[in-house]
Amino acid sequence: MKRVYLVGFMGSGKSAIGKRLGTLLNLPFYDMDTEIAKRTGMTIPQIFETYGEESFREMETEFLRTFHDSYCIIATGGGVAMREENRKIMRRTGLVFFLNSSFRDIWRRISTDSNRPIVQRSSRHELERLFHKRKPLYLQSAHFKVETTNRTLNEITQYIASQIVRLTIQ
């Protein structure tokens, strides 16, 4: 096994599941947004405000190109799958799990989050359109689609871990 990437729309549980998965499998966990914030010395909202979304997307690609830890869990940003290069890097360097959530569940989690620049500047309708636009790209990225609706974080984590173990043993 190489890296494990968790992809999905903002609020799908990538960070929460990634932390649990790292603990369960005794692997380092990295949150892409946190790592980019550390590299720049800025918060994600500050990066968006100062440099714009396109520059932030380039930072995500640069992270994927230059990240060196081979055996780890990475929770990606919600927009990382929008770039074909990112999808190719992730599929080539690891296993990609798409956390598929309903928009209703996503909206419940993100609607009041001030750390998400796209949420702050978009209506519910605009976010739902973005959700549907991105979903096919998450599916293109993924080796596995993981249904998260009506499942606990523990159930999702256990499922992903079992798939990783199954593939590692083969």
Break the chain into its structural domains and give their ranges: 3-164
* Residue 150 burial by Cβ neighbours in a 10 Å radius (0-12, 13-18, 19+): exposed
pLDDT at 2 over 60: yes
Specify whether domain 3-164 bears CATH 3.40.50.300: yes
69 confidence band (pLDDT: 50, 70, 90): confident
86-90 mean pLDDT: 97
User: Would you state the pLDDT for residue 170?
Assistant: 57
Considering only residues 74 and 111, tell me which one the structure prediction assigns the higher pLDDT. 74
Helix then strand count (H, E) for the chain reads 9, 5
How are the residues of the chain apportioned to helix, strand and coil, as percentages rounded to the nearest 5? 60, 15, 25
Residue for token pair 């959700």: 131
Point out the least confidently predicted range of 10-24, 32-46, 114-128: 114-128
